[in-house]
Amino acid sequence: MTKIIIIGGGVSGLTAGIYAQQAGFQSSIYERNALPGGLLAYWQRQSCLLDNCVHWLTGTNNRTMLYQLWENVGVLSKDLPVYQQPYFMQVEHSGETLHLWRDLSRLRTDMLRLSPSEAPMIEEFIHLVTIYQGTVVVANKPIEQYTLWQKIKLLFAMRKIGKVHRKYAKMSIADYAAQFRHPLIQKFLTTYFPVHYNISSLFFVFGMFTSGNADLPAGGSRGMGERMVSRYESLGGKMHTGWEAERIEIKGDRAVGVRFSNGQMVEADYVVIACDLHHAITQLLPKEHWDAYMQEHYVDHPEKYPTYSSVNLFYKVNHLTHMVPEARILDLNALEINGKRIPTAFVKHFNYEPSFAPADTTILQVLLTQYDDDSAYWQQLRATDYPAYSAAKKQVADAVAEALEATFPELTDSLTLLDICTPATNERYCHAYRGAYMSFILTPYNEKNSHNGRVKGLRNVYLAGQWLQAPGGLPNAAVTGKFAIQRLVHDAKP
């Protein structure tokens, strides 16, 4: 039986493994950590489950191609509960509040109440989000395997979005928000996503959420990961944890196997690289197999392709919260990281998942957006002065706790810090490029390029993972895992 080695047991690797088994191959996934999942991360602290990944999952609408993929790999099913938040987030400014409601008519009413003089801009905003509700995420097969007629049908389905995208793709979130005069609407638009994202990214996410296509599957990251592993192993796939790949063994134009840090070399007919792409090209592949995409993004012009990450804090509240919204922008008073003031953070609770915490308690997660220079700061600090790294984390945790207590008096003397992770954590556990948990930021100044999923000069090596197409995330990880096997199957035909 044809043997496939998959390097990396995250979402892309697990998806590739499931589709490989269904295609009749014998696959083995090799994961460096003790648990599979990659950036689909969760862990326990003080009887609490800390979910560090899933805030929403694109593809929960059962009429979409992406839903069919998630269903096939075990993430979603008709019997699995899916939680639909009534709003994406809450924002406050000078005593006024605005929610990004799932119900767009309610959002429209609230925005017009805040700033009736800006009615034309508000109406256009609601209209644009409505258009993006129709976004088609291609998840059935790679575009190069589409027939001409299938490509025409896809373009027709996306025609309205294409027209809007041509108009707004070169406009940043910051520039779009500046067209509004009301400060709360500006804050609403600029405090969740990096402000140098192009505005189309925001329209997309809001469109997915308001169309019921970005919800929370039961069990969060743990449930999602466990269901994928169970699905993979039920199909006969072999999972190996604690195996770190060191290099791909190559003869001529083919890989013959993978050598691991334990000294063992495992032979294979095909190799799927489903780990971080930067780690793959700098550690696993000789330079002669780097292609133009890799060279452009990582060597020649990395400044054109920024990323972002976050400092994530988890607190336990010794009672069930009543004042803290499900998702809220939190104002911070005097917090600096890497010499820069951090004005806001994103806070959410997990009360919709009662199994995450002991009875009558609440887990809060707070995210502070970090950029490439911040990631470098955290990684350098941890590598050169660990006591200073720990002190910096404590300073952040204390400032955030102070802001939480000031904003929500019910939290006073009720908070216990469970854990704090930085971009250095992502890099250490997942080899994540720049400590990022998403792929490259889509700015107005760079083109959205996708990788073809193949390795230059090697006939039997394929790539999967979110770094193949910006802006990454769980859907792109899963889609590229599926596509890697579909390309392999196509190439394996006599």
Strand residues in 206-307 grouped as ranges (E)? 214-217, 238-241, 245-251, 254-260, 265-267, 270-273
Per-residue pLDDT at 429: 94
pLDDT at residue 242 in the model: 97
Given the DSSP bridges, would you call strands 214-217 and 57-58 parallel, antiparallel or unpaired? antiparallel
Asked if residues 149 and 79 have their Cβ atoms less than 8 Å apart, the reply is no
**Helix 159-168 vs helix 148-157: angle between axes, to the nearest 10 degrees?**
70
Contact predicate 304/360, CB 8 Å: no
- Residue 451 is predicted with a pLDDT of 96
DSSP state at residue 259: E
- Mean pLDDT split into 10-residue runs, the chain, 494 residues: 96 98 98 95 95 94 96 97 95 96 97 97 97 94 96 93 87 96 96 90 94 95 97 98 97 97 97 97 96 95 94 97 94 93 96 94 97 97 97 97 96 97 96 95 81 97 96 95 98 86
358: cis peptide before it, omega within 30°?
no
Q: In 58-94, which positions are buried (b, 16+ CB within 10 angstroms) versus exposed (e)?
A: bbbbeebebbebbebbbbbeeebeeeebebbbbbbbe
Please give the Cα distance from 310 to 370 (Å, whole number): 5
At residue 165, the pLDDT reads: 84
**pTM metric for this prediction:** 0.96
Q: In this predicted structure, what is the pLDDT of residue 89?
A: 96
> In which element (H, E) is residue 368 found?
strand 362-371
Distances (CA, A) of 250 to 7, 276, 445: 15, 20, 38
DSSP designation for 10? B
Round to whole Å and give the CA distance between 75 and 484. Answer: 19
What is the structure's pLDDT at 345? 97
- State residue 494's pLDDT score: 76
For 285, list phi and psi in degrees, rounded to 5: -115, 135
Q: What are phi and psi of 416, to 5 degrees?
A: -125, 125
Amino acid residing at 382: R
